[in-house]
Structure 1
Amino acid sequence: MTSKTLYIVVCGAPLASRAGDGVRAARAAGWDPYLIPTDAALPWLADQDLDDASVITGNRTPDQPRRTPPADAVAVVPATFNTLNAWANGNAHSYALTTLCTALGARTPTVAVPFAKKDLAGHPAWLASLAVLRYAGIQVVDPHDGSASSLRPLDSGTGDRVAMDFTWGWVLDRLGDSRI
Structure 2
Amino acid sequence: MTDRVLYLVVCGAPLAKRVGDGVRAARESGWSPYLIPTDAALPWLETQDLEGAPVLTANRKPGAPKRAPVADAVAVVPTTFNTLNAWANGNAGTYPLTTLCAALGARTPTVAVPFAKHDLAGHPAWLASLAVLRYAGVRVVNPHDGSSTALAPVASGTGEEVAKRFQWSWVLNQLQEAGA
| 1:63 Cα deviation from its structure 2 partner | 2.0
Q: Are 2:51 and 1:51 equivalent residues in the alignment?
A: yes
Q: Are 2:9 and 1:9 equivalent residues in the alignment?
A: yes
**TM-score, normalised via structure 2 length:** 0.98
The amino acid that maps onto 1:138 is V
Is the 1:35–1:53 contact (alpha carbons within 8 Å) kept by the matching residues of 2? Answer: yes
The amino acid that maps onto 1:121 is A
Q: Are 2:148 and 1:148 equivalent residues in the alignment?
A: yes
Flag structure 2 segments of 5+ consecutive residues without an equivalent: none
- Cα distance in 2 for partners of 1:179, 1:122 equals 32
- Cα distance in 2 for partners of 1:178, 1:143 equals 18
* CA gap 1:166/1:112 in 2 versus in 1, 3 angstroms: same
Residues 71-86 of structure 1 mapped to structure 2, 5 A cutoff: 71-86=71-86
Is the 1:72–1:179 contact (alpha carbons within 8 Å) kept by the matching residues of 2? Answer: no
Is the 2:2–2:27 contact (alpha carbons within 8 Å) kept by the matching residues of 1? Answer: no
- Cα distance in 2 for partners of 1:136, 1:63 equals 32
* Aligned position for 2:89: 89
Q: Determine what percentage of the aligned residue pairs are the same residue.
A: 72
Provide Cα deviations, 1:138-178, integer angstroms capped at 9, x if missing partner: 00000000000000001100000000000000000111134
* Aligned position for 1:118: 118
Kindly report structure 1 stretches of 4+ aligned residues shifted beyond 2 Å: 177-180
Is the 1:73–1:178 contact (alpha carbons within 8 Å) kept by the matching residues of 2? Answer: no
- Cα distance in 1 for partners of 2:179, 2:27 equals 14
Provide Cα deviations, 1:88-119, integer angstroms capped at 9, x if missing partner: 00000000000000000000000000000000
The amino acid that maps onto 1:39 is D
- Cα distance in 1 for partners of 2:177, 2:121 equals 29
Q: Would you say how many aligned residue pairs link Structure 1 and Structure 2? A: 180
Is the 1:113–1:142 contact (alpha carbons within 8 Å) kept by the matching residues of 2? Answer: yes
| 1:3 Cα deviation from its structure 2 partner | 1.8
Flag structure 1 segments of 5+ consecutive residues without an equivalent: none
| 1:179 Cα deviation from its structure 2 partner | 4.3
* Aligned position for 1:35: 35
Is the 2:16–2:44 contact (alpha carbons within 8 Å) kept by the matching residues of 1? Answer: yes
